Amino acid sequence: MLHPLDPLTTAEIDAGRAVLDREGRITPTTRFPTVLPVEPTKDAVAAHRPGDAVERRILFVALETATGRSAEAVVEVTGGTLESWTELATDVAPYGQPPYLIEEYELTEQIARDDPQWQAAMARRGLPTEFAFCAPLAPGFFGRDDEAGHRVIRSLTFLREDENDSPWSHPVEGLIVHIDLTERRVLRVEDEGDVAPPTVDGRFGTAAGLPERTTLKPVEITQPEGPSYSVDGSAVTWQNWSFRVGFNAREGLVLNQVAFDGRPVLSRASVPEMVVPYGDTTPTRFWISYFDAGEYLLGLNANPLTLGCDCLGVIHYFDGVVADGNGHGITIPQAVCMHEEDYGILWKHTQLDGTADVRRSRRLVISYFSTIGNYDYGFFWYLYLDGSIDFEAKATGVVFAGAGEPGSTNPHATEIAPGLFAPVHQHLFCARLDVAIDGEQNSLAEIDVVRMPTGPDNPYGNAFTWQTTPLTSERSAQRLADPSRARVWEITSGSRTNAVGKPTAYHLVPRPGATLMAQPDSSVHGRATFATQHLWATPFSPAERFPAGDYPNGHAGGGGLPAWTAADRSIENTDIVLWHVFGPTHIPRPEDWPVMPVDYSGFSLKPYGFLDRNPALDLPAGIADHCAPGGGHEHHH
């Protein structure tokens, strides 16, 4: 039985496409860079009862590749009607293009390789072209006449020794191909510098055939009675928690209707955008600032987890449904993994008489991985038995590097292997948290701990206190984190109080890194303004989903959060959405080569007076047979 928040099915996408076809909207050169669910209104979701008919709408973003014109089409699938067709003003400032199509990656490579200037540049450098890889890269926005409003892409070249070589190890420095994808031609080729590509071997993994160590003994995770979660379609229950799993091509994993003991905590949670700005000055890379959701689509590039060991234990997989470039539904098998993990000690106390109580923590993990070119990103949500939620982004894969003179120094890049220089860069994720603490009427405040001068209010100098500052409008809610003040942000309920008479609440606990390092007058500052603050908050609006705007590709800037919050709307005692920015700033190191150990970043949501006491007092003492009370010693034979 369909629920309004269920992810799209391939049949629905195909039915929606058939409506567009019937309406004469599809030509042989029409492609679909984005196909997304149009989410039901909150009222429609609240009114839904099992068995009710469900209206399903799909947004098809259609690109006429022959002309470069794009349009948004909304199709109501159940009734089979085209509800709207809206041309996008992609040629009018501030511009903005739909994301790249997979076929445009191949087109980029073909156009670059066929270009006489590229061939001449490679020949002048004496480089072999047979296995050269021409990477398709979003160009940012710099206002050139032949780029603004056009569907353009850039390509950097990487050598490979053979087809199986890692494509990122041997960059050709200073060779940049600018391409117009609509006109299918090279706009210009920049060819400067004659630094030899590094020859360092970048191979790793199974294909590299490196000898494997033999000293690790197996660790087996067994759950002989099965998992403690249950799944009904997209609905999951696990201990006190309940939620619905969603998935779409742009955001990937979405959690809907997250509740603890049936009480709402999050109406919807996802990571709808991230930006990866580079901090060097070279022509090869000064323009790099990838928007991995808005330009490349995180969900479309989700990994099928059918192979390998992403998760351990008893696993439930959810497929991910997206559309291919022709608008047909396709399934990414096992895109989302859900499993339980032991997480050490949840609580413990040894009494004065020596008796001890200890209870183990466990968490439910809901995750997916997306590969965007050289980088791989894991998106992991963790639900805990004590009412906490963690989010963790895992950045791994291969760092993006250029070539330099071995042994030289560069203020913007580190030499991570001989002749291979990896520029400084950031990975700034933005979580969209549609909070619903005991309902949609919520308010926001900032809490700092405060030092107090010694004096009448602090006679011994030891005292300190805390300060709660209500954040009542959008501008007042543009905040930076401050670990020196243990700064957290509190979301309170407008409708429920706890055992001590205070509004029930959750805290957003940041694990802050640097915000955007680029200057206010830089292009990327305007295009990724969301990344200049750790926190933003807005009143809920169904149209406000993507913090850098709907179409950051080729966009001149100013879209999304800076535009929405200009009106400084009230966020007091209303349905509010938090936007939280976090993520690593990388000064790459040799240990990141040739494949980077996972770099972790994220944040926590902790109940703060949401519950009247520790909700995990009832955990059984000896859940695993090897740690029964009084036992716990390893048996030696």
Catalytic residues: 292, 375
Question: Which lies closer to Ni ion via its Cβ, residue 18 or residue 587?
Answer: 587
Chain residue at closest Cβ approach to Ni ion: 586
Q: Which two tokens stand for residue 442?
A: 């919520």
DSSP for 203-250, please give it. Answer: --SGGGTPPPP--PPP-----TT--SEEEETTEEEETTEEEEEEEETT
Q: Which range touches Ni ion (CB under 5 A), out of 334-342, 453-461, 566-574, 578-586?
A: 578-586
Binding residues for Ni ion, rule CB under 5 A, total 1
* Residue 584, φ and ψ in degrees, nearest 5: -80, 150
Among 586, 595, 603, 616, binds Ni ion (CB under 5 A): 586
Q: Is 154 in the site for Ni ion (CB under 5 A)?
A: no
Closest CA to 295 of 494, 138, 435: 138
The span from the first CA to the last CA of the chain, in angstroms, equals 55
Q: How far is the CB of 600 from Ni ion (least distance, A)?
A: 12
Question: Which lies closer to Ni ion via its Cβ, residue 204 or residue 317?
Answer: 204
> What is d(CA 130, CA 357) in angstroms, rounded to the nearest whole number?
66
What is the x/- site pattern for Ni ion, positions 264-283, by CB under 5 A? --------------------
Q: How far is the CB of 512 from Ni ion (least distance, A)?
A: 17
Q: How far is the CB of 371 from Ni ion (least distance, A)?
A: 14
Q: Which range touches Ni ion (CB under 5 A), out of 33-41, 68-76, 409-417, 581-589?
A: 581-589
Q: Which range touches Ni ion (CB under 5 A), out of 159-167, 257-265, 505-513, 583-591?
A: 583-591
Those residues whose C-beta lies under 8 Å from the C-beta of residue 461, and which sit 6 or more positions away, are 454
Q: Which residues pair with 87 in a beta bridge?
A: 71
Those residues whose C-beta lies under 8 Å from the C-beta of residue 440, and which sit 6 or more positions away, are 42, 264, 267, 540, 574, 575
Q: How far is the CB of 589 from Ni ion (least distance, A)?
A: 10
> What is d(CA 11, CA 31) in angstroms, rounded to the nearest whole number?
18
Q: How far is the CB of 365 from Ni ion (least distance, A)?
A: 23
Question: Which lies closer to Ni ion via its Cβ, residue 178 or residue 586?
Answer: 586
The residue whose two tokens read 């066929």 is 114
Question: Which lies closer to Ni ion via its Cβ, residue 372 or residue 561?
Answer: 372
Question: Which lies closer to Ni ion via its Cβ, residue 121 or residue 413?
Answer: 413
> What is d(CA 456, CA 459) in angstroms, rounded to the nearest whole number?
5
User: In this structure, are residues 171 and 125 in contact, taking their beta carbons and an 8 Å threshold?
Assistant: no
Q: What are the E-state strand segments in 25-125?
A: 30-38, 57-64, 69-76, 81-87, 95-97
Question: Which lies closer to Ni ion via its Cβ, residue 442 or residue 515?
Answer: 515
User: In this structure, are residues 510 and 556 in contact, taking their beta carbons and an 8 Å threshold?
Assistant: no
Question: Which lies closer to Ni ion via its Cβ, residue 523 or residue 601?
Answer: 601
67 DSSP assignment: T
479 DSSP assignment: B
Give the torsion sign (CA, 407, 410, 416, 418). Answer: negative
Question: Which lies closer to Ni ion via its Cβ, residue 522 or residue 585?
Answer: 585
* Residue 563, φ and ψ in degrees, nearest 5: -70, -45
Question: Which lies closer to Ni ion via its Cβ, residue 140 or residue 327?
Answer: 140
Q: How far is the CB of 425 from Ni ion (least distance, A)?
A: 6
Q: Which range touches Ni ion (CB under 5 A), out of 294-302, 446-454, 471-479, 580-588?
A: 580-588
Q: Which two tokens stand for residue 95?
A: 């511009």
> What is d(CA 362, CA 379) in angstroms, rounded to the nearest whole number?
19
Residues 323-362 that bind Ni ion (CB under 5 A): none
* Residue 485, φ and ψ in degrees, nearest 5: -115, 15
H or E element that contains 120: helix 116-124
Q: Which range touches Ni ion (CB under 5 A), out of 93-101, 167-175, 450-458, 582-590?
A: 582-590
Q: Which range touches Ni ion (CB under 5 A), out of 84-92, 344-352, 468-476, 579-587?
A: 579-587
Q: How far is the CB of 395 from Ni ion (least distance, A)?
A: 6
Closest CA to 530 of 511, 516, 518: 516
Q: How far is the CB of 524 from Ni ion (least distance, A)?
A: 16
Question: Which lies closer to Ni ion via its Cβ, residue 593 or residue 608?
Answer: 593
Q: Which range touches Ni ion (CB under 5 A), out of 97-105, 159-167, 244-252, 584-592?
A: 584-592
Roughly what angle, to the nearest 10 degrees, separates helices 102-114 and 116-124? Answer: 60
Q: How far is the CB of 178 from Ni ion (least distance, A)?
A: 25
* Residue 318, φ and ψ in degrees, nearest 5: -115, 135
Closest CA to 316 of 241, 400, 223: 223
Those residues whose C-beta lies under 8 Å from the C-beta of residue 19, and which sit 6 or more positions away, are 75, 77, 80, 81, 82
Residues 418-447 that bind Ni ion (CB under 5 A): none
Q: How far is the CB of 426 from Ni ion (least distance, A)?
A: 8
Provide the binding-site residues for Ni ion, judged by CB under 5 A.
586
